[in-house]
Amino acid sequence: MHPLRARQRLFSLLPLLARAAALLLVLMLPWRLMAAEPAAMLVAVSASQSESQLGPHTAVLEDPQGQWTPATLPQTSGAWQPRATPSLNFGFSKSVWWTRVTLSNTGPQQVERVLDLGSSLADEADVYVLGPGGHERLHMASGDRRPFASRGEPVRTIATRLILPPGETLTVLMRLAAHDGLHEIITPTLWAPEAFAEHMQTETLIFGLYYGVLVTMMLYNVFLFISTRQSTFGFYVAYIASFLAWGLVFRGYAFQYWWPNAPDFNNQVLPFIVSLLYLSLGLFLMRYLDTRHSVSPRLHRIVATCTAANGIGILPVFMGLYALTFALNTLIALGMIISLIVAGHVLVYQGSRPARYFASAFALLAMAALIYYLRVLGLVPANGLTDNIVQIGSAAEVLILAFGLADQMNMLKTEKLHAEHQALVAQTALTTRLESLVSSRTQELEAANLRLANLSVTDELTGAHNRRQFNKDLAAAVALHSRHHTPLALCLLDVDHFKLYNDRYGHPAGDEVLQKIALILRQQLQRASDHAYRVGGEEFAILLDINEPPEKVRRFIEQMREAIHALAITHEGSPVGLVSISMGLVILKGLSATRSPAELYSQADTLLYRAKQAGRNQLVSQTLD
């Protein structure tokens, strides 16, 4: 089978595999429920145990009015309902929920443990530890609606330390209240202090790697956006940045390190970020899949409307309605994702390569989300993989979409080269036919072609080489340096306060200034290998093939600046009263480490920026080793 067809078939099968895996997991649900057995409410704690899941041994009690205290809680067995899952999920409920678990130290020595709720977002979590006779040993009033300092342990999740004397039985009660009805999932776990510290370190390392992937992809696409100015990369950067911010807030790191004394802000910013995440995702996928032109107008309008509606989800944030914001975000995002999936599948069947990347990325993310929620329900075991499956899936999604963007760029480049080749073939055929028909005009046609070639590389206003030729010559010079260690120099220069000059004297006068500067640069450059380019509005570049010491090159460039200043063109908007330029010069010696054209240009641009910040009308240079 042809490799391309094999890859296309693989992409088309990934969504089907995701659906099959999801169906398999759902079909496992009855068997898991049949296998679930009521667990005892007593947890034996010994010094040899490093970790104990408390969820399967926990009983829960609903407090509709939120009026009970540990002393007034009903003690009848029928009031308390056992839970057989590691995670406790009360969903949307205005009630206060109580949990109860009994810990018994069966050993001869005192045992110290850390009780970790496994959540950083529970609104109000009160932990009561009662000794024999119901005497209160410990009370921690914490939650993400309270300052971070209220936590018993200075970690991202809600945790506190317990002391179990030998031979004693303690009752641990937890009172869980939600601000406006949305209860967060908790996974209560009892840890040995050393094991808890190791667990938090491992978790931080995993999340650090995950966030590092997101930051790397974000910075890479920022560079692509700056280089190409394509909005697709800009929306993708916004999506990754929103995902990164969401992860830091959702996992509790932002509350721990950035605003520990602002719990209200911590709760408001999360749904705000979620709305931005869905909005930026929709905008990115609309541009990436090109729904405006690749699907029906009606489907495009549905996708665009669902994407824009994510802005509505931000409104309840400012009224403190966290649950309503969550519900709106979920419903609106669901509509947007469904419409995008429909558009993606339409394009997959049409043979769209971007759609295949999109379908593959979202299939992996959907599988990860499904496994995570089945883990929350206790239908799959809780371990390092299932606890972090969403991060793994989202990182895979980000990487696949990045590959899709790169593939799309390569396709556009190939299409452009093909179009240029076709244009060249057509031009050559036309020239041949005209020469055969009108031999007397051969010289005129050759002259016309020469002028056309010059126009394609020349700036019309100043006569200097244009940005396209600059990119080509810079790449060639860097390649030559890499192969033969030939030194080179790149200088960027900018006319100081040029906007003020245009505003005061008019654009025709500004154009005349640019023409004079370009003329001075060409007069100063005597060698055929040295060129001046106009790379922006009032920005020029000079590329030198040098064999002199760096200081001599610097003096040569300084002479250009002085020659332009010597034109004595009046500029009342400039502090020096005359038209002047700022210059950034970077010199790459023969034995210098190889830099890419983009790195060399960026370094020269940085030096130019320093020259402007230092007062303009000057040269800032640097010789790279």
pTM over 0.75, yes/no: no
Q: Tell me, yes or no, whether 222 and 365 share the same domain.
A: yes
Q: Tell me, yes or no, whether 212 and 163 share the same domain.
A: no
User: How many domains does the chain fold into?
Assistant: 3
User: Which 3 state secondary structure label does DSSP give 529?
Assistant: coil
Q: Tell me, yes or no, whether 12 and 119 share the same domain.
A: no
The answer to whether residue 146 sits within a structural domain is: yes
Q: How far apart are the C-alpha atoms of 11 and 329, rounded to whole Å?
A: 30
Q: Final residue of a domain: which of 165, 191, 217?
A: 191
622 by Cβ neighbours in 10 Å (0-12 / 13-18 / 19+) ranks as: middle
Model pLDDT, residue 490: 94
The residue ranking higher by pLDDT, 474 or 18, is 474
Q: What are phi and psi of 148, to 5 degrees?
A: -60, -30
The answer to whether residue 445 sits within a structural domain is: no
Q: Tell me, yes or no, whether 245 and 391 share the same domain.
A: yes
Give the residue from 120, 119, 70 showing the smallest Cα distance to 96: 70
- What lies within 8 Å, CB to CB, of 416 at 6+ separation is none
Give the domain extent around 342. Answer: 3-30+203-412
**Structural contact between residues 287 and 305, judged by C-beta atoms closer than 8 angstroms:** no
The answer to whether residue 243 sits within a structural domain is: yes
Model pLDDT, residue 40: 42
Model pLDDT, residue 394: 72
- pLDDT by residue (tens digit) across 267-302? 888 888 888 888 888 888 888 888 888 888 888 888
Average pLDDT over residues 370-394: 66
The answer to whether residue 426 sits within a structural domain is: no
Asked which of 13-22, 252-261, 364-373 is least confident by mean pLDDT, the reply is 13-22
- Cβ atoms within 10 Å, residue 401: 25
Q: How far apart are the C-alpha atoms of 471 and 612, rounded to whole Å?
A: 24
Average pLDDT over residues 102-110: 90
Average pLDDT over residues 332-356: 81
**Structural contact between residues 509 and 501, judged by C-beta atoms closer than 8 angstroms:** yes
The answer to whether residue 434 sits within a structural domain is: no
- pLDDT by residue (tens digit) across 134-179? 889 999 999 989 999 999 999 999 999 999 999 899 999 999 998 8
Q: Tell me, yes or no, whether 374 and 488 share the same domain.
A: no
- pLDDT by residue (tens digit) across 473-485? 999 999 988 888 8
In the chain, the amino acid numbered 207 is: F
The answer to whether residue 418 sits within a structural domain is: no
The answer to whether residue 430 sits within a structural domain is: no
Q: pLDDT band at residue 4, thresholds of 50, 70 and 90?
A: very low
Residue that has been written with the tokens 């830091």 in this structure? 248
Q: Tell me, yes or no, whether 253 and 384 share the same domain.
A: yes
Model pLDDT, residue 474: 92
Model pLDDT, residue 9: 43
In the chain, the amino acid numbered 507 is: H
Model pLDDT, residue 148: 93
Q: Could you give the residue ranges of the DSSP H alpha helices within 438-506?
A: 442-457, 467-484, 498-505
Q: Tell me, yes or no, whether 384 and 496 share the same domain.
A: no
Q: Final residue of a domain: which of 350, 380, 412?
A: 412
Model pLDDT, residue 380: 66
Q: Final residue of a domain: which of 412, 434, 464?
A: 412
Average pLDDT over residues 64-89: 86
60 by Cβ neighbours in 10 Å (0-12 / 13-18 / 19+) ranks as: middle
Strand partners, 175: 98, 126
Model pLDDT, residue 17: 42
Mean per-residue pLDDT over the chain, rounded:
82
Of all residues in the chain, what percent carry a pLDDT higher than 90? 36
Write the CATH number for 600: 3.30.70.270
